[in-house]
Amino acid sequence: MRSTEQRVRRLAFLAVLCVLAGTGCAAPWAPIDERTPRPFTFPTLEVQLNLPIGWMSSYYAPALGYAFFTVHGAELEEIWVRRFAKTAVVKGTGRNTSGNLTIQDMANVSIDSRRIDEGVGAFELVSNRPAEIDGRDCFRLDYRYRNAIGLQKRTVEYGCPVGSWLYRLEFNAPVQHYFDRYLDDFATASKSSR
């Protein structure tokens, strides 16, 4: 009995070791450089955009249904590209973005979700205005907040309804240095999205 138990443990250990060797050693980030295709296509999101050179793209994020980019790490600067079914309830609001909502109504749902979010303190809306990406009517939010450890951050978020989806392109960084330093990279990537 004991030797069977030992064999099972050894096989389980070898299986875990094989998984770790096969995936755990893979780099989680792909550098974006001159060789990166322009525009870059994310099939799971059905979106294309020109990625900023010098940033890194998460290898795993597209398989999870979003795209994520950074230069120095998520706490310093991050770009997210996500899409949500319009029928999905927006976190904390009990509402969705389907039906006869205007772009401004969709922006207000997003703002309410941020105000309610436990990780967002001292929320301050800087601007809320219409925008256009790839000829589509969108909204553009700009807001400041303090995260859970008190760091003041700033986010620019575009929300674009496309068919049954609401696409969100977001740039988030600490107010000090990183926001102003990388905002133009986000603006260029956002304008290129298709």
| Main-chain dihedrals φ then ψ at residue 40, nearest 5 degrees | -90, 135
Report the C-alpha gap between 34 and 95 in whole angstroms.
Answer: 42
- Per residue in 61-99, pLDDT (tens digit) is 887 888 999 999 888 999 999 999 999 999 989 999 999
- Per residue in 18-30, pLDDT (tens digit) is 544 454 545 588 8
Query: Are 58 and 29 in contact, with CB atoms under 8 Å apart?
Result: yes
Give the pLDDT of residue 130: 97
Closest CA to 144 of 121, 163, 161: 121
- Mapped onto helix, strand or coil, the DSSP state of residue 190 is helix
Distance of CA 59 to the CA centre of its chain: 13
Give the pLDDT of residue 63: 78
Give the pLDDT of residue 56: 93
Beta bridge partners of 136: 133
CATH superfamily of 28-192: Mog1/PsbP, alpha/beta/alpha sandwich (3.40.1000.10)
pTM, entire model: 0.83
Checking if the pLDDT of 44 tops 70, the result is yes
Cα radius of gyration (the chain): 20
| Main-chain dihedrals φ then ψ at residue 182, nearest 5 degrees | -115, 5
What is the average pLDDT score of the chain? Answer: 87
Long-range contacts: 148-151, Cβ < 8 Å, 24+? 148/118, 148/119, 148/121, 150/121, 151/75
Q: Vertex 29, ends 23 and 145: CA angle to 5°?
A: 120
Give the pLDDT of residue 20: 46
Q: How many CB atoms lie within 10 A of CB 98?
A: 14
